[in-house]
Structure 1
């Protein structure tokens, strides 16, 4: 890998869930931190939910790791 991995978790969608991108590639729509942990595992990053929630290198757009539903975007 040329540099540090870039993870972006977008704001909650109106129907729920948050789009996840790793190095510009969309990995999917996460509905909770467990989904995000699984997406990151598939991308080669072995972290648990606590590590993911505290990671300063994850760009949490709109709201933090504790909000996943559409109520968070209003």
Structure 2
């Protein structure tokens, strides 16, 4: 079994939002990649950007990768 990642981005809901969980808390709903970047910045991740988010092994994308935002 793979180890849990600290950030989980859940599948898109009916509105195109994806819940973002950091550790055990829901950070909010992201509607695009910049939203995920902003949640990480607010959590204290330094020098985070869209490229980092796309490549990071700390993020588990469920129901599609960083380009999937429609239900």
The residue that corresponds to 2:45 in the other structure is: 45
Q: 1:13 Cα deviation (Å)?
A: 0.5
Partner Cα distance (1:57, 1:42) in 2? 16
In structure 2, runs of 5+ residues without a counterpart are none
Q: What do the CA deviations read for 1:14-67 (whole angstroms, capped 9, x no partner)?
A: 111100000110010000000000000001112100010111120101100011
RMSD of aligned alpha carbons: 1.1
Partner Cα distance (1:68, 1:24) in 2? 23
Runs of 4+ aligned structure 1 residues displaced above 6 Å come to none
* SS of the residue 1:26 aligns to: strand
In structure 1, runs of 5+ residues without a counterpart are none
Q: TM-score, normalised by structure 1?
A: 0.83
Q: TM-score, normalised by structure 2?
A: 0.87
